[in-house]
Structure 1
């Protein structure tokens, strides 16, 4: 993980492999952003002209490298685009800084140290830049050549980043950097889990990772294995995991604050590999299904982050872990499962398995009567068709709570969109055999899944469902601070919800 420090040092005198500055996109060409004054002065105030000559425009995601001016101890200047120039007296938004820092960190792969001279107006800017650096410098290389070879070949992530223009003794800025570090480290751990091959991350292995982290950070952990699940009557989780040689698990993580009675429950879908079961996925749809546990990874990361930050709120995380495989013991289309709630479900499609494990976990979470429940899942391809690959859908049984989640996601830089739960779609899940079927109308399938989950939320409990099927796994090239592969989608939104609850700002 990249080491972060705050410094008031002058850019010219700092020894580093590169100095990162910001450049905005103005109406008449690139505009040098605050923080880069020393570099601009060394170019006789013509830095914008030089950048424009090199083809820079200040567009978001753009990187331009040029030699450092004479007298600088760093040999290289990296100008990173911030996007449109802000209005007068307005600063660059946190997300613009976060993305620019991430782009620069990725561009400096192989460098040992870089100084970031991006615009810093307050503690929020410090946190955004720090978070962007740590997320942008992420690399998953556990299955590649050793660290020594990567460093030798210039492929190691940026080792150290100094944030210039900040105030090391400012309590708010120090706290912002500490928060950014905790959030980014746990989000990157979620990315690691999503990227880990399924032969090394079955439900038992995932539970072991969660247990070790929980013990390290003072979080209580309870793991229900197959025998405990059978004794408890968790028919949904057991039914999904029945076809695998790796038995399912239900992991409960409990972070408790002695200073608050508020209680949030997070529930995550943790299908460590999804073949579709007997309803086997077609060719071309199996290759990335190691990511089907991204919801559980997000919940795990959020609970550990809450503990690291010492938030004044009680947070419980439920990880519903199973591997969905076809075999002689697998659940068949037409089978009926008795869920933990006591309801029966006719399984019409074994590839609609995520809602089955979530249903059991939602009912378990409801039994504790939390103030609110939020589930997170890579649940439906329908949501990807509706919202694309970068936006997750938000459904809820309370409009105000749904709006609060969308606002929280926007605040931390995650794209989301409010989605409805149309009552007329519920009838499509009526079953002549069981209380409900796990499939309904094909059109609006993402909304149907949300309606199914709502059936397993305790009466009177505020609940929301985040379908992160699109943004959880990035199959295209990296952008901003988002790498290829696991993204850690929804971690920051969950953490922000916990912070707002702790502050009394979320009803």
Structure 2
């Protein structure tokens, strides 16, 4: 998809379709007013006739308006200013793009006049429009016998005045990079478990290192994982015929001696639950249990594409959780890379086992902050539903930065407590800790477990169990939290340059 910033009078733009916004009660935005004036009041005529009132999400297509160069004019309702939000704007853009694409339109021009709400600004609106357009046009066809119908849209233009063009062009480039990262995360998540294995994820990481000069990659195999003492990660992977991998990607965009930021992703490419076998219904969705890995890989790709002036380490703990004669059993005790021991009471609580060794491993790089991402607990879905990412941290400043980044990027999170009072739920008679803490506060006790491996570093945990994929007719990976994480790293880079 080709994105471009354009300038000029909206009524004179050469395009197959121009999209303009109309507010509640038929109030015309500046671009809509210009179209109305050029067409001798055509827009006011349909509004006065009651055919269109500008309520949020409504649309009306007009063809060949007199005095307007565009072949089609699409009116979109944006409703009352007090009711507007980034989420509603994103949904509206996706709907518009999907609709226009079905018409056979090749060139679409959006003239929305920064109408996303009270917090709108040129950079944010432009970037989020690019991301929404890209998301609307994403199609999965990798494992289908016939390729998806080619996208009819070839060019999407965003109208800005000349003074705003420089900001818009920077936002466009960032938006494309983030959209590419989201698409990567969605594609990896959507691939079936017989294709997207730990080996496949490792090969994907190697390909990133080949693509970008600033990126290097190291892959630790099962023998290295075992010999280094990563007993928790090894205990999960050893039940499968496909061995585990620890994937380490390094991006060097900052100074050589500058401490990196670190992302850690849970890469369980399929989760049967192990010996603590999951129920059969909807088990197919456990191919999405590597979406934490997918999101950190997508974020890493976006950072490399944007050439941010920071150093970034991304570690993925990749394994299959399978039942077999070699699989871990409830009651087994393993020794982690940190030296702490864990009693495995439930083999379906495997994500925290692979993450704890990865979190210990990444601290050798002395990172400024560590953020792990995981589809970790069903309890997070009960607590927050399918809207917000669960966030827990040992550093409130880091948590606030991530929450702010999520708000800006339209990829929101919600912080849960990480109090010491919850730690006792992990007590074990036979090891330093158990890998589960019972049903109460399951998301929090999972984070408490991880906190025991991050005491010496600024750390945050993102539980994306409720937001990583959609079920039902729209089943598929979402690509969250690529926008939140990338915005956080953009903010870090901006603060550094300032």
TM-score by length of 2: 0.91
Residue in structure 1 matching 2:109, options 115, 122, 129 = 115
Could you tell me which runs of 5 or more consecutive residues in structure 1 were left unpaired when the two chains were aligned: 479-483
Matched, 1:40 2:36: yes
* 1:299 to 1:66, Cα distance in 2 relative to 1, 3 A: same
* 1:56 to 1:254, Cα distance in 2 relative to 1, 3 A: farther
Per the alignment, in what secondary structure is the counterpart of residue 267 of structure 2?
Answer: strand
Matched, 1:127 2:124: no
Could you tell me which runs of 5 or more consecutive residues in structure 2 were left unpaired when the two chains were aligned: 115-120
* 1:119 to 1:262, Cα distance in 2 relative to 1, 3 A: farther
**Matches of 2:495 and 2:143 in 1, distance apart?**
44
Contact (CA 8 Å) 1:119, 1:125: kept in 2 or not?
no
* 1:312 to 1:335, Cα distance in 2 relative to 1, 3 A: same
How many pairs are equivalent? Answer: 488
Question: Residue in 1 aligned with 2:187?
Answer: 192
Q: How much does 1:96 deviate?
A: 5.1
**Matches of 1:62 and 1:506 in 2, distance apart?**
43
Per the alignment, in what secondary structure is the counterpart of residue 208 of structure 1?
Answer: helix
Question: Residue in 1 aligned with 2:200?
Answer: 205
**Matches of 2:313 and 2:390 in 1, distance apart?**
22
Per the alignment, in what secondary structure is the counterpart of residue 329 of structure 2?
Answer: coil
Q: How much does 1:255 deviate?
A: 0.8
* 1:201 to 1:12, Cα distance in 2 relative to 1, 3 A: same
* 1:492 to 1:332, Cα distance in 2 relative to 1, 3 A: same
- Provide, for residues 209-265 of structure 1, a one-character-per-residue CA deviation record: whole Å limited to 9, x for no partner: 121022202211111111221221211221111221211111011111244724211
More divergent stretch after superposition (169-178 vs 363-372): 169-178
Residue in structure 1 matching 2:468, options 442, 465, 472 = 472
Q: How much does 1:127 deviate?
A: 2.0
* 1:353 to 1:55, Cα distance in 2 relative to 1, 3 A: farther
- Provide, for residues 178-232 of structure 1, a one-character-per-residue CA deviation record: whole Å limited to 9, x for no partner: 1111111111111111111111111101111121022202211111111221221
Residue in structure 2 matching 1:413, options 410, 413, 426 = 410
- Provide, for residues 280-312 of structure 1, a one-character-per-residue CA deviation record: whole Å limited to 9, x for no partner: 111323121111111111111112211221212
Per the alignment, in what secondary structure is the counterpart of residue 219 of structure 2?
Answer: strand
**Matches of 2:107 and 2:145 in 1, distance apart?**
22
Question: Residue in 1 aligned with 2:16?
Answer: 17
Per the alignment, in what secondary structure is the counterpart of residue 255 of structure 1?
Answer: strand
- Provide, for residues 467-491 of structure 1, a one-character-per-residue CA deviation record: whole Å limited to 9, x for no partner: 011111022566xxxxx51111111
Q: How does 1:225-304 map to 2 (within 5 A)?
A: 225-259=221-255, 261-304=258-301
Question: Residue in 2 aligned with 1:179?
Answer: 174
Per the alignment, in what secondary structure is the counterpart of residue 315 of structure 2?
Answer: strand
Matched, 1:393 2:394: no
More divergent stretch after superposition (444-453 vs 258-267): 258-267
Q: How much does 1:70 deviate?
A: 3.1
**Matches of 2:364 and 2:203 in 1, distance apart?**
25
**Matches of 2:240 and 2:126 in 1, distance apart?**
47
Pairwise CA RMSD of aligned residues? Answer: 2.6
Contact (CA 8 Å) 2:5, 2:165: kept in 1 or not?
no
TM-score by length of 1: 0.89
Q: How does 1:370-385 map to 2 (within 5 A)?
A: 370-385=367-382
**Matches of 1:107 and 1:52 in 2, distance apart?**
25
- Provide, for residues 104-151 of structure 1, a one-character-per-residue CA deviation record: whole Å limited to 9, x for no partner: 22222343221111114633332222222222222222233545x714
* 1:63 to 1:389, Cα distance in 2 relative to 1, 3 A: farther
**Matches of 1:422 and 1:291 in 2, distance apart?**
30
Q: How much does 1:361 deviate?
A: 0.5
Larger relative helix fraction? 2
Question: Residue in 2 aligned with 1:141?
Answer: 141
Q: How does 1:480-499 map to 2 (within 5 A)?
A: 484-499=475-490
* 1:175 to 1:342, Cα distance in 2 relative to 1, 3 A: same
* 1:170 to 1:355, Cα distance in 2 relative to 1, 3 A: same
* 1:189 to 1:38, Cα distance in 2 relative to 1, 3 A: same
**Matches of 1:279 and 1:130 in 2, distance apart?**
43
**Matches of 1:52 and 1:412 in 2, distance apart?**
37
Matched, 1:354 2:354: no
Q: How much does 1:444 deviate?
A: 0.6
